[in-house]
Amino acid sequence: MYVVLLGPPGAGKGSQAPELAREIGGVHISTGEMLRAALRSGTPYGLKAREYMETGRLVPDDIVLGMLMERLEQDDARENVVLDGFPRNEAQALALDETLRAGGKRVDCAVNIEVPEEVLVQRLGGRWTCSSCGAIYHQAFHPPRRAGVCDACGGELRQRLDDHDEAVKQRLQVYFTETAPVVEFYRQAGRLAEVNGNQAREAVTRDLLAAVQRECAAERQAR
């Protein structure tokens, strides 16, 4: 089963995806995380991506597609996958469909997590991420038990380089101009579910799992 998680920056994709991946017995693949890891290790992909990420612009398709297609060829990504942060534009959505089709697969469903813009800004401004395991916290909405320390693994919590005001503004604008059309792409294809992301984390998880069971299962049966 291939599930695409859609939604603006701060909608909660990264917070929800690990739970969903566990539920479907698969892996969570985040292109944002892959790019940040490439940047930390100084790989050619990471070095090229840096200026785009820090200023809140989309990294060029050739870099992201190259990286993602390599990841999708790995053994653990052949069956059940939750994609977070990809596709970000129609060209990426078409490229994904084409790659999966070549292997006799397709995106079973896309779920759009909806959250009002003013809430997104509050969420991004207070986000802390574990530098070791990637767990996501918020200073007010989901604080760690000890400030600066990850509950799950004891790793150090850090703020992301692209969570400063200017980059957040740019990321939201890029989302509405370049990525929102991807929601329509999956709606037109009859493969879209929508979930209210502006409620408690656990309620979002519940609704997300229900939407995936309903929509993905229906899509698979229809084939």
Among residues 48, 105, 106, 160, the one annotated as catalytic is 160
Minimal CB distance to ligand AP5: which residue?
32
- C-beta separation of 24 from 212 below 8 A: yes
- Interface segment toward ligand AP5; rule CB under 6 A; list 3-11, 20-28, 71-79, 145-153: 3-11
164/223 with CB nearer ligand AP5: 164
Residue from 4, 9, 96, 134 in contact with ligand AP5 (CB under 6 A): 9
Start-to-end CA span in the chain (Å): 13
Selected range binding ligand AP5 among 51-59, 72-80, 101-109, 209-217, rule: CB under 6 A: 51-59
Decide: is 127 part of the binding site for ligand AP5 (CB under 6 A).
yes
Residue by residue, DSSP assigns 141-170 as TB--SBTTB-TTT-PBEE--TT-SHHHHHH
Contact pick of 4, 58, 110, 157 for ligand AP5 (by CB under 6 A): 58
Tokens of 143: 């604080």
The SS3 assignment for 133 reads coil
Cα(106)–Cα(135) distance, rounded to whole angstroms?
29
Catalytic residue among 13, 36, 123, 191: 13
Told to judge if 169 belongs to the known catalytic residues of this protein, a careful annotator would answer: no
Among 85, 182, 185, 207, binds ligand AP5 (CB under 6 A): 85
State the Cα–Cα distance between residues 9 and 66, nearest whole angstrom. Answer: 23
Longest dimension (CA), the chain: 49
* Interaction between residue 7 and ligand AP5 (CB under 6 A): yes
In whole angstroms, give the CA distance from residue 114 to residue 7: 6
Is residue 22 among the annotated active site residues? no
Q: Do residues 27 and 80 make contact, with C-beta atoms less than 8 angstroms apart?
A: yes
> Which is closer to ligand AP5, CB of 98 or CB of 222?
98
Question: Per-residue x/- mask for ligand AP5, residues 142 to 161, rule CB under 6 A?
Answer: x-------------------
What CA–CA distances, in Å, run from 58 to 13, 35, 50, 176?
17, 11, 11, 12
Residue 212 in contact with ligand AP5, rule: CB under 6 A? no
Active site residues: 13, 88, 127, 160, 171
Binding residues for ligand AP5 (CB under 6 A): 7, 9-15, 31-32, 35, 52-53, 56-59, 64, 85-86, 88, 92, 123, 126-127, 136-138, 141-142, 162, 171, 200-201, 204
